[in-house]
Amino acid sequence: MDSLKPKPETAHLLDDLQSIRDLLEEDLLPPLLTETLSADDIPLLSEIVPLDDEEEDEPHPTALPLRLKQSLHTEAQLILQEVVDDFVPQIEAELKRRLEARLERLLALHKP
């Protein structure tokens, strides 16, 4: 019969999982809903990710070249048109179904 002993190559995985569990125990739990946080308890992004001085000095290009912008706009329009073309038959079928159902209800109301 098979024994329930872990295989030797997977035994270290259990130890790793236990050490991760120990790390996540009490210290890293989120605050309870009954606890309140002050503005000083919430870190700012600049405190977590420091900015390099070199990056601040370089100007960031904000505008795309006109040719690239036009190309992107054209491609976006083509994609949009493809999506519309794909869904038009479904939309038409749903409209037809709803109109027929509505017509039947209206005719049923006005039958003498």
112 domain residue, yes or no: yes
Helix, strand or coil, per DSSP, at residue 3: coil
- Residue 81: give the domain boundaries: 77-112
CA distance to 86, 94, 103, 111, per residue, from 98 (Å): 20, 6, 8, 20
Give the residue-averaged pLDDT of 8-19. Answer: 73
Q: What is the pLDDT of residues 38-74, one digit of tens each?
A: 777 777 777 777 766 555 555 556 667 888 888 999 9
40 domain residue, yes or no: no
Q: Give the count of domains, the chain.
A: 1
109 domain residue, yes or no: yes
Residue 20 has pLDDT above 60, yes or no: yes
88 domain residue, yes or no: yes
Question: Over pLDDT 90: what percentage of the chain?
Answer: 30
